[in-house]
Structure 1
Amino acid sequence: MATRAAYFSPSEAEILMEVYEEVKEQIKMKGNTATIIKQRKKAWQSIADRLNALNMTQSPRTWQQVKIKYKNILQNVKKKAHKKCSAGGSPKADITPAEDIALAENKARINEGTDTNICSSQDSNSFIKVSGSIVKLEPQIPDDADPGEGTNAAETDAIDDETSSLGSRKHENSQAIKQLYAQHMRQQIQLANMDMEYKKRKMEDLALDSEIKRRTIRILDLKIKKLERELQEDDTS
C-alpha cells in the first residue's frame, strides 16, 4: 500500500533536498536486486533520520514520506516552469528554495538553446526561459526515478514492497523452520531423559528384587540350620 503524502514545512523540504544530494548516488543505483533496493531504502531512510534528528515536527518522518515529498518537489518545479513559460514570465518567480535546489540538481538533463523566442508554437510545453536563455526539457525519466521506474511511482513502491515482503516471508519461513527444529531437538532430549529415567528406575527395581531374593535365601538358610539342630537333638535324646 502506498504511503500517504505528508505536509513538509519549507525548511524541511530544503533540508531534504540538501541531504538528497549527499546520498543520490545510492538512490540512482541501477538494478532491482534485493541488495540494491535495500541500499536505496537505506539512503531514503538516512534523509528521514536527518530530518527527525532536527526535531522539526512532532511526527517522525518515514523514508516513504521523504521519497514521495522529493518526487512532489521535482514535479512541482517542472509544472511551475512550464506555467511561467506559457505566461511569458520567469520560471523562478515563485519557486521555493527546495524547488530551486531541485532545478539546479537536474540541470544536466536540460539542453540550452540560443533561440530567443520563448515557448515556440511547435512545442510550448517543452521550453522554459532561465536567465535569458532557452532551455529544453527532455522527455526523459525524472532524475530521481529508481532504475526500472516508470511514470507511476506507486507501481515502483508496490514492487519494492512486494520484494521486501518476499524477503520478509523468506526470513519468517527460515525462522519458523529453525524454531520447529529447535522444538524437535528439545523433544528428543526430553524423550532421551525419560528413557534414562525409566532405565534407572528399572535398574533400581531389579536391585530391590535381587535384595529381596538374597534375604529370602538367607531366611531359608537359617530355617534349614534350625531344622538340622532340632534333628540332632532328637537323635541324642
Structure 2
Amino acid sequence: MATGKRRATFFNNIELETLMHAYRDFLHVFWKKSNTAAAAKERETAWENIASRVNACNPAGEKRTWQQLKMKYKNIVQTANRKKADSRKTGGGPAPPPLTVAEEMALSHNTGRSVAEGIPGGSSSSECTPQDTSALQTL
C-alpha cells in the first residue's frame, strides 16, 4: 500500500490567487472560438505559462503541473457556481458558506459573457416564409 501515489499538498491562498490572476491574463486565449490543433496548442501553452507563474510564487512548495492547475480552476468554478445557486434557494435553514476570494474571482471572469449566441443576422421572431413551411406535412 506504500507504493501508491502520494497525495498532493493543498493549494495555499497565494497559489490560488496567482492562478486566478494568471488565468485572467490569458482569457483571450481560452475564449477563442477556434477548435483547431493550433488553438489547442495555444491553450496548452497558456496553461504552461500559468503553471510557471504559480510555481514561481511558491519556490519551497510543491511544483504543480499545468494539468493540476487546469483541474483546480475547473473545481473552483464548479464550487463557486454551486454556492451561488445555493444562495438563491429559498426556505429556512442556515445561510450557505460565503464565497472564497478565488471563487469570487472565478465568477467575475464570466461576467458580461453571453450564455448563448444566436445566428448573426438572424432573429427568432421573424415571420415564417413559404420555404420554411414546405417541409411540414398537413394532416
Against the structure 1 CA distance between its residues 56 and 85, is the aligned structure 2 distance closer, same or farther, given a 3 Å change threshold?
A: farther
State yes or no: 1:65 paired with 2:65: no
For residues 55 and 6 of structure 1, the distance between their equivalents in structure 2, rounded to whole angstroms, comes to 12
Q: Give the equivalent residue in structure 1 for 2:98.
A: 94
SS at match of 2:26: helix
The structure 2 residue matched to 1:28, chosen from 27, 31, 50, is: 31
TM-score for the superposition, normalised by structure 2: 0.66
TM-score for the superposition, normalised by structure 1: 0.40
The structure in which a higher percent of residues are helix is 1
For residues 87 and 57 of structure 1, the distance between their equivalents in structure 2, rounded to whole angstroms, comes to 45
Give the greater-gyration-radius structure (CA). Answer: 1
Against the structure 1 CA distance between its residues 100 and 57, is the aligned structure 2 distance closer, same or farther, given a 3 Å change threshold?
A: farther
Contact 2:18 2:57 survives alignment (8 Å): no
Aligned ranges for residues 1-237 of structure 1 at < 5 Å?
A: 7-55=10-58, 58-87=61-90, 94-109=98-113
For residues 58 and 44 of structure 1, the distance between their equivalents in structure 2, rounded to whole angstroms, comes to 19
The structure in which a higher percent of residues are strand is 1
Structure 1 unmatched runs, 5+: 111-137, 141-237
C-alpha offsets along residues 28-59 of structure 1, whole Å, 9 cap, x if unaligned?
Answer: 22222221111000001111000111125532
Contact 1:77 1:102 survives alignment (8 Å): yes
For residues 87 and 46 of structure 1, the distance between their equivalents in structure 2, rounded to whole angstroms, comes to 42
Structure 2 unmatched runs, 5+: 1-6, 117-139
AA matched with 2:81? K
- The count of aligned residue pairs is 108
Q: Pairwise CA RMSD of aligned residues?
A: 2.7
For residues 71 and 49 of structure 1, the distance between their equivalents in structure 2, rounded to whole angstroms, comes to 18
Q: 1:10 deviation in Å?
A: 2.5
Contact 1:77 1:99 survives alignment (8 Å): yes
For residues 47 and 29 of structure 1, the distance between their equivalents in structure 2, rounded to whole angstroms, comes to 17
Contact 1:16 1:66 survives alignment (8 Å): yes
Against the structure 1 CA distance between its residues 77 and 37, is the aligned structure 2 distance closer, same or farther, given a 3 Å change threshold?
A: same
Q: Identical aligned pairs, as a percentage? A: 41
